[in-house]
Copies of this chain bind each other. A is one copy, B any other.
Amino acid sequence: MRAFSILCLLASTAVAIPSPKISSVRRPGHRGPNRRDIVTNQVNTTAASPTITASKDNIWASLTNDEAADVIAYLHNQTDLNLTSVEDAGPWDNTIMVVDLLVPNKTDALSYMDGNGTKPERWVLASLLFGATEEPYAQDWVVGPVPTTEETVYYPYTYGSQAKDAKIRVFDQDDHSELYANASMEIKDIISDILNATIETQDDLSSTFDIWGIDPLWHQPDENGNDRVISWVGFWRYPDTVQMQNGSINFDGETLLPQGLYLQCDITGRDPSKWGLMGVLYGDEYYSSLQDFRSAWEQPGFEKYAVNYGGDWIGTDQAGEVLPLEEIAPPMPVQPAGQRFKVDEENKYIEWMDFTFYLTFTRDTGMRLYDIKYKGQRIIYELGLQEAVAHYAGNDPVQSGTAYLDTYYGFGPYAFSQIPGFDMPLYAYCMNTTFHASELSKSHRCGISIFEADQNYLIQRHSNADYISATKNIALTVRSVSTVGNYDYNFEYIFYLDGSIETVVRASGYIQSAYYAKNSEYGYQIHDALAGSMHDHSLNFKVDFDILGTQNTVVKHVIEAKDIKYKWNNLTRSTMHMYRTEVTSEDHGKMNWSANSQEQVVIVNKDVPNKYGEPRGYKIMPSRGGAGMHLTIKNSSNLINSQGFADHAYYVTKRKDSELRASSAWNDYDTANPLVDFNKFFDGDNLEQEDIVMWFNLGMHHVPHTGDLPNTVFSTAQSGMIITPHNYLLSDPSRQATQQIRIDYTDNSTTDVYTFGSQPVTGDIELAQVAWDPYTYYGDVAVRKFPYDPQNPFNDTESIV
């Protein structure tokens, strides 16, 4: 579920406030007033964490709190924008949604990083919401440079958008909750009956049911051909409140409690008097008015369906028989000799073995990596999530109409603090992350964890009758976990000793489920009145390869069966061979992984062959969860022109500063007319020895079954992609590792043992020392931006729902 909460709806019935669906850009005033003195950039660096100073500053670093405050104040000074502070704004005001760094143009960046070029200026991408108009819209603006001076300018971000003036229409600027509530109250007796509730007052309604629905909104022409904006909402039951020792919680399982009742409303325009109910759906029967519904209900023989109630089954706590020996402490990773990588905390710069890279963090897409170098040579300029779509289907309009574009909600806001010993080993290095939305800067304590771990299998091994040789597979993981509503996405980048980098995404958390009635074509019945709602996850990642420079080519090395007549044999042989084919133009830039994986996809610099004449390169291939998946639906009625990044397994385009991202956070507002239309990136550009970008999808086809209750498990809902050196070096670099052994033996005895200088572990590990007190877990830290109040950060952990 990604819908706005009833709490917010209730607030908005009292005071009209702008209510975009996302809490991270929602007016935060309803949050409690508790504030404490907390350092927003607190880290848990210990004396044992080796440090380093990056030779160049992190030019992709998130806006600082001061920078964000500066640009927000600057924008408020621009009278033509007619901005109102978020704190004071209503739906008919113009407000600032998000400010984030506009990354420097790549040529400027490389000039600084690689030579003596000046450090690029800091520019800002500001997303503004224009409510003071009959046709509200969002618009992206460029502001810079910052810190603001008299030189600072601002203008629409037209070069980074395929939409006119970088504008996108907003059709849900106003709050429609009263519409749904009023319609519901008209049939409160029916609701009480069919949903087995006691609804007398609007308070009863709002304390029993959460009413929300399709995302994105639909458009359809009326009989005169005029565009109408359609909303379908469904009823969801609130889980019971569970009293705990010192507080109470509600398990977050509301998305397991659909009630099977749906309302269709026309919410076109900004005049509430023009809005109205269009229909009702219950038990797969459609009624075009409340009256029709009532008439049917009054008939004897009206079929009532079962109801979903909360209860223990939606809780995630330990349940069922405790298994033999399970309670005793299980195996755990320890780091006996301290951290083996170096961090420049200020620059979020990491050095591990022969890899170096910078980290940054954005509101839209969370953690990102820049300037990944291996053995001193850049291999990737930029690596990070672009967009995540979760596309549902069902016999009811709410499931059918759900196709979340999750960067709308943002991965940054929900990259909550990780739990030591659970989300990461106890010894992990923690990095805080910050984003700026709704004129509030928030920091996640330990939003990113960085740690080495033994991968539980070797990286190299060989044995024979005389000796055995084995090398440990120690890898570095950089992890961030974002809970976007019901789902927890675990993102990680894993660096290996052979020069490989793996991108992995896993999903846990609650499924968004469907009502069971007549839904069998779209999922399994999994509880009393519940069906798993089939959906596809497609998560698009950008990888801007720079293999030995920016001039690269994608080459497929294809393995193919072939009958061949050789000069050394009279008979034709049925064998195989390999041929090469280049992806020469964006006209051929949309691709799927080959059947039986017979295509090797290699990114090379053709101008830089190795000493044997082979172009040096990196191969990219799916690594976990089967082949990299993409959407089943090619032309979704929900996503329209906003699914271009998800209809193939991977894409190659020519890199352009004007094509920074495959999607926009605001495409969800009007998917037919997106701010960023990925399809338009494909305009026939040459791809041979150009600065190219690959965009690949990870994902899962998910038809939830009973095993998804109460939560989906990460272990089977994962997808990975690995890039690996391919004729890049002259031999396997893991041979540099000293964490290997060679044992020579005869039938009589072990004769020689070599450990290559690797230092044996010594001493004791005091488990009490490495233990962690869960009572020290805190959520996020927020700092008010307008008016700027940096001396008063406050705890503020906020989730969707």
Choice from B220, B249, B481, B728 contacting A467 with Cβ under 8 Å: B249
Is A525 close to B, CB under 8 A? yes
Cross-chain contact of A469 among B317, B527, B737 (Cβ < 8 A): B317
Beta-carbon nearest neighbor of A624 in chain B: B624
Would A508 and B462 be within 8 Å (CB), given that A741-B419, A765-B764 are in contact?
Answer: yes
**Docked pose: A327 CA to B474 CA in angstroms:** 12
In angstroms, Cα B710 to Cα A776, docked, is: 48
How many copies, total? 2
In A541-577, the 8 Å CB interface with B consists of 557, 559-561, 566-571, 573-577
Contact B337 A328 (CB under 8 A): yes
- With A and B bound together, what is the CA distance between A576 and B481 in angstroms? 29
| B747 x A796 contact (CB < 8 A) | yes
CB-based contact B574/A636 at 8 Å: yes
Known: A701-B597, A745-B777, A779-B747. A765 touches B559 (CB 8 A): no
A326: B residues at CB distance < 8 A: 340, 353, 736-739
Contact A570 B703 (CB under 8 A): no
User: Does A39 belong to the interface (CB within 8 Å)?
Assistant: no
Q: Which of A90-98, A134-142, A144-152, A753-761 contacts B (4 or more CB under 8 A)?
A: A753-761
A118 at the interface (CB under 8 A from B): no
Residues of B within 8 A of A331 (CB): 333-336, 425, 427, 451-454, 474
A14, CB-defined interface residue at 8 Å? no
Q: A329-B759, A460-B316 are in contact. Are A632 and B526 (CB under 8 A)?
A: no
Chain B proximity mask over A185-205: 1 for CB below 8 Å, otherwise 0: 000000000000000000000
Cα A800 to Cα B464 with chains together (Å):
8
Does A488 reach chain B (CB closer than 8 Å)? yes
Which residues of the partner chain B approach A262 to less than 8 Å between Cβ atoms?
568
Additional A-B contact list (16), CB under 8 Å, known A316-B460, A320-B736, A323-B736: A249-B466, A252-B467, A329-B336, A419-B741, A456-B456, A460-B713, A574-B633, A574-B636, A592-B595, A612-B706, A706-B731, A707-B724, A743-B774, A747-B794, A755-B774, A765-B767
Q: Which of A278-286, A289-297, A364-372, A687-695 contacts B (4 or more CB under 8 A)?
A: A278-286
Q: Which residues on B sit within 8 Å (CB–CB) of A522?
A: 577-578
A661 close to B (CB within 8 Å): no
- B-contacting 9-mer, from A77-85, A495-503, A677-685: A495-503
CA distance A573 to B50 in the complex (A): 57
- Of the A-B pairs whose beta carbons lie under 8 Å apart in the complex, a sample of 22, sorted by A's number, is A31-B747, A32-B746, A247-B751, A252-B466, A286-B568, A318-B736, A321-B736, A325-B340, A330-B474, A331-B454, A331-B474, A393-B575, A423-B461, A458-B714, A460-B711, A466-B799, A524-B727, A536-B576, A559-B701, A574-B636, A574-B637, A753-B775
The answer to whether A757 touches B322, judged by C-beta atoms less than 8 angstroms apart, is: yes
Pick from B351, B423, B795: contact of A470, CB under 8 Å: B423
Q: In the complex, what residues of B have CB within 8 A of residue A246's CB?
A: 744, 751-752
Contact residues in B for A10 (Cβ distance below 8 Å)? none
Give the residues in chain B near A592, CB-CB below 8 Å. 595-596
Distance between Cα atoms of A776 and B745 in the complex (Å): 10
> How many whole Å from A396's CB to the nearest CB in chain B?
8
User: Does A433 have its Cβ within 8 Å of any Cβ on chain B?
Assistant: no
Supposing A397-B568, A776-B750 touch, asked if A596 and B456 sit within 8 A by C-beta, the answer is no
- Which residue from chain B places its CB closest to the CB of A612 in the assembled complex? B525
Knowing A333-B454, A466-B250 touch, does A499 contact B745 (C-beta < 8 A)? no
A579 to B338, CA, bound (A): 54
In the assembled complex, how far is the CB of residue A307 from the closest CB belonging to chain B, in whole angstroms?
Answer: 15
* Contact of B498 with A318 in the complex, beta carbons under 8 Å: no
- B461 to A318, Cβ gap below 8 A? no
CB distance from A275 to the nearest CB of B (A): 19
CB A186 to nearest CB in B, in angstroms, measures 19
Whole-angstrom distance between the Cβ of A296 and the nearest chain B Cβ: 14
Q: Are B568 and A456 in contact (CB under 8 A)?
A: no
- CA of A41 to CA of B423 in the docked complex: distance in angstroms? 41
B465→A508 contact, CB < 8 A? no
Find chain B residues with CB under 8 A from A328 CB: 337-338, 340, 759
Min distance, Cβ A255 to any Cβ of chain B, angstroms: 11
